[in-house]
């Protein structure tokens, strides 16, 4: 009897547990809340134009999927079920979170979509003026985060971006050269253009008046002169930056008293320097010198002569102060008894009557003396005049009547300083 009762109780409890389990299973089977859930999307490494899959629950309620840069409507899905949506990733899609637009609201992905980008540049405006817009064509240009011009001028803000076109305002500091475009993605990429961008520079057409006068108004006419931040005359160490007026075709300024004749330089905002083709001439300038029959120096060392001097530093193509032509020597005597020495050549003096050269003495050189010697022979002493060009004419007798010149020395005494030296030769 006891055994029967215990068995009955046991059966009762087993039956109760079975009912509870069955009920629980039924509740689990019907426990779908009906809410849209996004569990994952991928595959990892998916690229534009490839299929991307969205896995979740109740995805049949999704009406569209919003990416950064593009939206795919329901009609554009390749397939859609409760648990899976498949679509082709549009080219306009950019990195960022993804939104599922449903009948009940929006579902935002927890992690952003990112892609590997095959950035391409196919063409761009070949010539552009600073301050104007540059248009670049290519592929996936909407991913570009940085555009680098020559000399590391970087732009990170753009006029417009799309998949196949990028528009950017060219900085005033930009220089001609290749472009480098950088983009993000799973593997950040930089692309350098095969051809260079030609950035417009200013140019001089004419001067007014010509000859000019120091400490008076002077007008430069030309093209793209609004790109000029400074004008440098010979004889000045810093450009003139304060203009009376400035436009695209003209700059009006006051010429400083220190300005010298010669080519002028336009300094662009890019720091590129453009020289005029013709020199500026001034009222009262010395007339051109007569041509030399034989030259040691005219704008450069001539006829294979070399300088074998000492205790000097020399700029052979200086344009700060020119007596004649396009350049002069700037000779800095750095020690006592230094020398400019024309050497390693020989010229017969037959048929020539004089040895001539021009010297301009800078501040502190007035009255200083230089010995002129040929072939280490008789020294002829000249005296420097400060602040003016002086043409010296020596006879062959002044140098001891040498038949040839194998070397010609210009030696300072016990002083240091700087002179300009030009137009040296024989007549």
In a domain, 21, yes or no: no
Q: Let me know whether 409 and 299 are in one domain.
A: yes
Q: Let me know whether 300 and 411 are in one domain.
A: yes
Q: Let me know whether 268 and 240 are in one domain.
A: yes
In a domain, 184, yes or no: yes
**65: domain CATH number?**
2.60.40
- Paired strand residues for 330: 315, 420
In a domain, 66, yes or no: yes
Pairing relationship of beta strands 79-80 and 369-374 according to DSSP bridges: unpaired
Q: Let me know whether 166 and 179 are in one domain.
A: yes
Q: Which residues contact 275 (CB under 8 A, 6 or more apart)?
A: 263, 264, 265, 266
Q: Let me know whether 124 and 209 are in one domain.
A: no
The answer to whether the beta carbons of residues 341 and 409 sit under 8 Å apart is yes
Q: Let me know whether 187 and 211 are in one domain.
A: no
Q: Let me know whether 320 and 415 are in one domain.
A: yes
Structurally, how many domains does the chain consist of?
A: 4
Q: Domain containing 98: what range?
A: 37-108
Q: Let me know whether 303 and 367 are in one domain.
A: yes
Q: Let me know whether 422 and 298 are in one domain.
A: yes
Q: What integer pLDDT is reported at residue 238 of this predicted model?
A: 94
Question: CA 121, 127, 131, 135 torsion: positive or negative?
Answer: negative
**189: domain CATH number?**
2.70.50.70
Quick one: how many helices (H) and strands (E) in the chain?
A: 1, 38
At which of 56, 76, 108 does a domain end? 108
In a domain, 20, yes or no: no
In a domain, 13, yes or no: no
Q: In a structure prediction context, what are the per-residue pLDDT tens digits for the chain, which is 427 residues long?
A: 333 334 443 434 344 434 333 333 344 444 567 899 999 999 987 889 999 999 999 999 999 999 999 999 999 999 999 999 999 999 999 989 999 999 999 999 999 998 888 899 999 999 999 999 999 999 999 999 999 999 899 999 999 999 999 999 999 999 999 999 999 888 889 999 999 999 999 999 999 999 999 999 999 999 999 999 999 998 888 999 999 999 999 999 999 998 988 889 999 999 999 999 998 999 988 888 999 999 999 999 999 999 999 999 999 999 889 999 889 999 999 999 999 999 999 999 999 999 999 999 999 999 999 999 999 999 999 999 999 999 999 999 999 999 999 999 999 999 999 999 999 999 9
In a domain, 361, yes or no: yes
**How many other C-beta atoms lie within 10 A of the C-beta of residue 211?**
12
Q: Is 284 helix (H, G, I), strand (E, B) or coil?
A: coil
Q: What integer pLDDT is reported at residue 35 of this predicted model?
A: 92
The answer to whether the beta carbons of residues 345 and 306 sit under 8 Å apart is yes
Q: What integer pLDDT is reported at residue 2 of this predicted model?
A: 37
Q: Let me know whether 153 and 258 are in one domain.
A: no
CA–CA distance, 66 with 73 (Å, rounded to integer): 8
In a domain, 302, yes or no: yes
At which of 199, 215, 232 does a domain end? 199
At which of 199, 233, 254 does a domain end? 199
Q: Let me know whether 163 and 254 are in one domain.
A: no
In a domain, 11, yes or no: no
**How many other C-beta atoms lie within 10 A of the C-beta of residue 106?**
10
Question: CA 317, 318, 322, 328 torsion: positive or negative?
Answer: negative
The answer to whether the beta carbons of residues 47 and 116 sit under 8 Å apart is yes
pTM (two decimals): 0.66
Q: Let me know whether 43 and 139 are in one domain.
A: no
Q: How long, in residues, is the chain?
A: 427
Q: Read off the DSSP letter of residue 287.
A: P
**347: domain CATH number?**
2.60.120.260
């Amino acid at each position: 009897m006891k055994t029967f009762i215990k068995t009955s109780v046991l059966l009762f409890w087993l039956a109760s547990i079975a009912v509870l389990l069955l009920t629980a299973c039924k509740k689990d089977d019907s426990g779908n809340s009906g809410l849209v859930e996004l569990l994952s999307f991928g595959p990892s490494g998916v690229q534009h134009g490839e299929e991307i899959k969205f896995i979740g629950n109740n995805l049949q309620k999704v009406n569209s999927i919003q990416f950064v840069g593009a939206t795919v409507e329901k009609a554009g899905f390749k397939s859609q079920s409760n648990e899976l949506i498949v679509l082709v990733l549009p080219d306009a899609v950019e990195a960022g979170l993804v939104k599922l637009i449903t009948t009940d609201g929006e579902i935002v992905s927890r992690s952003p979509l990112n892609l590997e980008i095959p950035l391409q540049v196919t063409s761009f405006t070949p010539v552009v003026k600073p301050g104007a817009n540059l248009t670049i064509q290519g592929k996936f240009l909407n991913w570009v985060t940085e555009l680098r011009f020559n000399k590391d001028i970087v732009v990170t803000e753009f006029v417009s971006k799309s998949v196949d076109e990028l528009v950017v305002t060219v900085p005033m500091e930009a220089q001609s050269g290749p472009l480098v475009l950088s983009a993000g993605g799973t593997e950040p990429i930089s692309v350098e253009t095969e051809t260079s961008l030609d950035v417009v520079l200013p140019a001089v057409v004419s001067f007014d008046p010509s000859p000019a006068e120091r400490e008076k108004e002077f007008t430069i006419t030309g093209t793209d002169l609004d790109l000029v931040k400074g004008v440098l005359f010979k004889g000045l160490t810093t450009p003139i930056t304060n203009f009376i007026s400035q436009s695209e075709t003209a700059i009006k300024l006051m010429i400083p008293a220190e300005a010298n004749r010669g080519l002028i330089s336009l300094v662009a905002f890019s720091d590129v320097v453009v020289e005029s083709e013709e020199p500026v001439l001034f009222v009262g300038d010395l007339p051109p010198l007569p041509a030399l029959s034989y030259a040691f120096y005219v704008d450069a060392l001539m006829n294979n002569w070399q300088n074998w001097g000492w205790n000097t530093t020399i700029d052979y193509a200086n344009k700060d102060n020119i007596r004649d032509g396009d350049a002069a020597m700037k000779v800095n005597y750095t020690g006592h008894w230094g020398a400019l020495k024309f050497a390693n050549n020989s010229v017969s003096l037959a048929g020539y009557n004089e040895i001539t050269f021009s010297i301009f003495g800078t501040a502190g050189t007035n009255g200083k003396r230089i010995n002129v010697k040929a072939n280490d022979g008789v020294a002829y002493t000249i005296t420097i005049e400060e602040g003016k060009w002086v043409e010296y004419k020596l006879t062959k007798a002044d140098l001891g009547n040498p038949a040839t010149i194998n070397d010609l020395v210009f030696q300072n005494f016990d002083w240091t300083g700087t002179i300009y030296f030009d137009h040296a030769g024989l007549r």
